[in-house]
Amino acid sequence: MKITARNIPPRSAWALEQAGVHPLLARLFAARGVCAKDELDDGLARLLPPATLHGTREAAVLLADAIQADKRLCIVADYDCDGATACAVGLRGLRRLGARHVSYLVPDRVADGYGLTPSIAQRVADTGADVLITVDNGIASVDGVAAAKALGLAVLVTDHHLPGPELPAADVLVNPNQPCCGFESKSIAGVGVMFYVLMALRSELRERGVFELRPAAGPPQGGPAPSGGSEPREAGSVGVMPQPKLDDLLPLVALGTVADVVRLDANNRRLVAQGLRRIRAGAMPAGLSALFKAAGRNAAAATTFDFGFALGPRINAAGRLADMTLGIECLATDDAARAEELARMLDDINRERRGIEGEMREHALRVAESLFAAGQTPPAAITVFNADFHEGVVGIVASRIKDRFHRPTFVFAASGAEGKENELKGSGRSIAGFHLRDALDLVAKRHPGVLLRFGGHAMAAGCTVARERLADFQAALAEVAAEWLDAATLTRRLDTDGPLAPEYLRIDLVDTLQREVWGQGFAPPTFSEELEVLSQRLVGEKHLALKLRHHGRPVDGIWFGHTEPLPQRALLAFRLEADEWQGVRRVRLMIEGAELPVDATRQGEKA
């Protein structure tokens, strides 16, 4: 591992500090590309206008016409946390905007596969729906959309995934990554896309005079609520209902955005910050409150880590092992008792998922290690398959192997779908510098027939291959990886924020850091410097508990999942956390990695 320090533009850091930003935060924000304080404004008024997301206007007209004609709407969701939150946002928002008949359908991961398929379109039509709305899927569903149209359904596709060579012939497509869209936030999650559609719909309904309008009042604190860019009519306009608020959907938008690990650009950070603000104030759906309770987390001090490592996995577990309907119902209900019951069920499923994952991970690591001899460099890409693997957990296991070997990794399981016993379903995770979906596209072009289906993002993707073509896929992916990846890219590198000044090793600053929005593309603060190791011992048989010296001051440290002892001095990368013992809160260093001296490495100690 190579530990490096991010570049901190001194002018940006100075400008932020002079504008009143805490010196430590000024340094951290500058290293992440923030140049001026106004870029940190997370007010709703700073959100990108809905009109700039191509298709929102047309989607608003389609939905407004359907609502005013009392038509039946059906949402087809994906089976991950982004899809579940997008579905819940759609259900809540459409009903609030006057839709009386809104239902949803979520495919089964095993039986149906991903996205809007012709069979899913038929099931939607069988419900009596008039309009089919996809959330977090659909941009690659050419056949499914065609089938839906043939059945007489109007189709609105809302998605954020990268499109294939052919776009589906939907009535309306809303996707920032379609070729004609100039929306600046290309990394917005599926739940964010649906939220933008609802903002545009509310604006369209307001233009039609649907809402009962009151005399204008001053904007709420933090800026005006999302309006879609249109000014309200004058008081006295004819309407039939009060204009509904949509900002209380933001806690769900925040959860789905972080859980989907999309890049937290400025617009996404604002969505997440607004959601966190409401959660900390207790303004959230009953299901979110119940999930915080089930996970043992404090909603009043909610952070992005809660979304990514506590709530998100519990929602995702339903789609991996059971039925994502459980997750959607938990997020959509307003019944507190029902929400707590569903949250407990999701917690139980997540425990089962962890058990399955643990067994699969150990087996997969052994398979991966068998691909190269001890002491040799791992191959440029890793492909693992076992007939006993559970297809709902292959993505998590691929992520673990990728982290272990720092290589693009695919893990495959046998398809459990009826009639597809010869198919293998794989999930992949990548490293920086290797665009996984583009790699799959190149594999498909070079080796026609190897990939039956594929899709995804730069860092995560999925594909299906025939069992007898797995070796061909493995060789083809390794070939692309060998061409695209050089030695520098294949060397694990941990970017940090450099040394931490001793005056910042304080519990109040730990709390300050945790209140900020961190995540993919806006990395949480990680510091690095050479520290003295005063003592070390194993805890729980797989974690290293440390006593370290930081600028003459002893401080506790913990390195989870690491058992090899450290030398007396080592260059350590670490995050700050608050550790509570017997009612006393202290700073603890969470070790993220170590760059050891050459002599220590030769003695067999591993970073």
Cα separations (Å) of 52 from 4, 55, 231, 394? 38, 9, 16, 37
pLDDT at residue 599 in the model:
55
Q: Which of 294, 292, 296 is nearest to 280 (CA)?
A: 292
Say if residue 505 is in the same domain as residue 479: no
H or E segment at 509?
A: helix 507-515
122 against 582, higher pLDDT: 122
Say if residue 509 is in the same domain as residue 435: no
Band of pLDDT at residue 289, cut at 50, 70 and 90: very high
pLDDT exceeds 60 at position 511: yes
Phi/psi of residue 11, each to 5°? Answer: -65, -40
pLDDT at residue 222 in the model:
44
Our count of domains for the chain comes to 3
| 3-class secondary structure, 394 | helix
pLDDT exceeds 80 at position 325: yes
Distance separating alpha carbons of residues 15 and 30, to the nearest angstrom = 9
With contact defined as beta carbons under 8 Å apart, do 287 and 342 qualify?
yes
Q: Which of 130, 116, 100, 94 is nearest to 202 (CA)?
A: 94
Token pair 């359904």 in the structure block, residue: 153
Distance separating alpha carbons of residues 67 and 270, to the nearest angstrom = 30
Dihedral sign from CA coordinates of 28, 30, 34, 39:
positive
Least confident of 12-21, 86-95, 286-295, 486-495: 486-495
Q: What is the DSSP string of 28-87?
A: HHHHTT--SGGGG---GGGSPPGGGSTTHHHHHHHHHHHHHTT--EEEEE-SSHHHHHHH
Environment class of residue 583 by beta-carbon count within 10 Å: exposed (0-12), middle (13-18) or buried (19+)? exposed
pLDDT at residue 606 in the model:
43
The token pair that represents 272 in the structure block: 């997440």
Band of pLDDT at residue 237, cut at 50, 70 and 90: very low
Say if residue 429 is in the same domain as residue 574: no
Please list, in sequence order, all residues whose beta carbon lies within 8 angstroms of the beta carbon of residue 5, skipping any fewer than 6 positions away.
495, 496, 497, 498, 528
Say if residue 500 is in the same domain as residue 485: no
- Among 212, 227, 244, the domain-final residue is 244
With contact defined as beta carbons under 8 Å apart, do 548 and 502 qualify?
no
498 against 226, higher pLDDT: 498
pLDDT at residue 215 in the model:
47
Q: Which of 292, 207, 203, 224 is nearest to 254 (CA)?
A: 292
Letter for the amino acid at 158? T
Q: Across-strand partners of 412?
A: 385, 426
Phi/psi of residue 385, each to 5°? Answer: -145, 140
Cα separations (Å) of 503 from 450, 499, 500, 507, 605? 58, 12, 8, 11, 32
What are the pLDDT digits (tens) for 295-308? 999 999 999 999 99
Range 136-151 average pLDDT: 97
The answer as to whether 457 is a domain residue is yes
Say if residue 431 is in the same domain as residue 527: no
pLDDT at residue 220 in the model:
43
Least confident of 205-214, 540-549, 560-569: 205-214
The answer as to whether 258 is a domain residue is no
pLDDT exceeds 70 at position 35: yes
Range 83-92 average pLDDT: 98
Say if residue 114 is in the same domain as residue 75: yes
pLDDT at residue 214 in the model:
59
pLDDT exceeds 60 at position 500: yes
Distance separating alpha carbons of residues 367 and 77, to the nearest angstrom = 34
Say if residue 537 is in the same domain as residue 482: no
Band of pLDDT at residue 276, cut at 50, 70 and 90: very high
Say if residue 120 is in the same domain as residue 49: yes
- Among 462, 490, 518, the domain-final residue is 490
Give pairs for 517-521: CB < 8 Å, separation 24+.
Answer: 517/42, 517/264, 517/269, 517/272, 517/273, 517/276, 517/304, 518/264, 518/304, 519/258, 519/261, 519/264, 519/272, 519/304, 519/308, 520/261, 520/262, 520/263, 520/264, 521/187, 521/262, 521/263, 521/264, 521/265
pLDDT at residue 223 in the model:
43
pLDDT exceeds 60 at position 603: no
H or E segment at 446?
A: helix 436-446
Say if residue 454 is in the same domain as residue 590: no
What are the pLDDT digits (tens) for 330-376? 999 999 999 999 999 999 999 999 999 999 999 999 999 998 887 78
The answer as to whether 28 is a domain residue is no
Structural domain for 74, as ranges: 45-244
pLDDT at residue 541 in the model:
83
Token pair 């017997």 in the structure block, residue: 582
525 against 599, higher pLDDT: 525
Band of pLDDT at residue 468, cut at 50, 70 and 90: very high
Band of pLDDT at residue 421, cut at 50, 70 and 90: confident
CATH label of the domain that carries residue 383: 3.10.310.30
The answer as to whether 19 is a domain residue is no
Cα separations (Å) of 354 from 297, 321, 347, 365? 18, 11, 11, 16
CATH label of the domain that carries residue 155: 3.90.1640.30
Range 528-536 average pLDDT: 97
Say if residue 80 is in the same domain as residue 172: yes
With contact defined as beta carbons under 8 Å apart, do 592 and 526 qualify?
yes
| 3-class secondary structure, 478 | helix
Range 402-411 average pLDDT: 96
pLDDT exceeds 70 at position 221: no
**Mean pLDDT over all residues of the chain?**
92
pLDDT exceeds 60 at position 166: yes
CATH label of the domain that carries residue 560: 2.40.50.460
The token pair that represents 544 in the structure block: 């290293």
Does the pTM surpass 0.95? The reply is no
pLDDT exceeds 60 at position 411: yes
The token pair that represents 52 in the structure block: 């700039």
The answer as to whether 26 is a domain residue is no
64 against 580, higher pLDDT: 64
Band of pLDDT at residue 574, cut at 50, 70 and 90: very high
Say if residue 479 is in the same domain as residue 586: no
- Among 244, 273, 307, the domain-final residue is 244
Distance separating alpha carbons of residues 107 and 111, to the nearest angstrom = 8
Dihedral sign from CA coordinates of 336, 339, 344, 345:
positive
The answer as to whether 129 is a domain residue is yes
pLDDT at residue 341 in the model:
98
Say if residue 563 is in the same domain as residue 415: no
The answer as to whether 334 is a domain residue is no
The answer as to whether 225 is a domain residue is yes
pLDDT at residue 598 in the model:
53
